[in-house]
Amino acid sequence: MLRLAMNYLLPHVRAGKLRALGVTTAKRVEAVPRIPGLSGFESVQWYGLLAPAKTPSGIINKIHKEVVSFLGTPATVARLVADGNQVAGSSPEAFSGFMKGETTKWAKVVKAAGRQPE
């Protein structure tokens, strides 16, 4: 069994070299709707842009506006979805909350495994 990012595995699944048992998302992935989500288990790969602490909000907002504009173009959406990604362009505040949630979730996993962050 192997768990990797969809964009790495999808070409092999499509070529019949690997068989996907499920996706680690709550819902099915648009690029491969026949593959079920794994109930009660969610581990997703995500991308985001970060800036140094105390970066002026005007700069953050300008970058955010440009990124959301780019993510909304049909060509960008088509390419990302074809690679198995789900496009989401949230606000800087929402992304911050998401990252905090991910940190909390995975800290619990690390602790349950008896490991220490390195």
Q: Where are the domains of the chain?
A: 1-45, 50-118
Give the Cβ contact number of residue 25 at 10 Å. Answer: 16
Residues paired with 23 in a beta bridge: 37
Kindly report, residue by residue over 22-36, the tens digit of the pLDDT. 888 878 888 888 888
- pLDDT tens, residue by residue, 77-115: 999 888 888 888 789 999 999 999 999 999 999 999 999
Helical pair 57-71 and 74-82, crossing angle rounded to 10 deg: 70
Q: Look up the pTM and report it.
A: 0.75
| In 52-91, alpha helices (H) | 57-71, 74-82
